Amino acid sequence: MRHTLLGLLAAIVASAYAVELPDPWSDCQPRTAITLLAALRAPLDAKPDDQDLLGRAIMAYVNLSLGGDPALDGACGPWLGYARELAERRARARGGEPATLADAAPELWVRLLDGDAVGTTAMLARWDTDPEQPLYRALQARATRDVRA
Chain segment 9-37, per-residue pLDDT in tens: 444 444 444 457 767 667 777 888 888 99
| Nearest residue to 102 via CA among 59, 47, 67 | 59
Amino acid at 97: E
Burial readout 55-72 (b: 16 or more C-beta within 10 A, e: otherwise): bbbbbbbbbbbbebeeee
Residue 105, CA distances (Å) to 12, 16, 59, 64, 78 in order: 33, 28, 9, 16, 20
- Output the pTM of the full model: 0.77
- Is there a contact between 84 and 58 (Cβ–Cβ < 8 Å)? no
pLDDT attached to residue 31: 84
Delimit the domains of the chain by residue range.
21-144
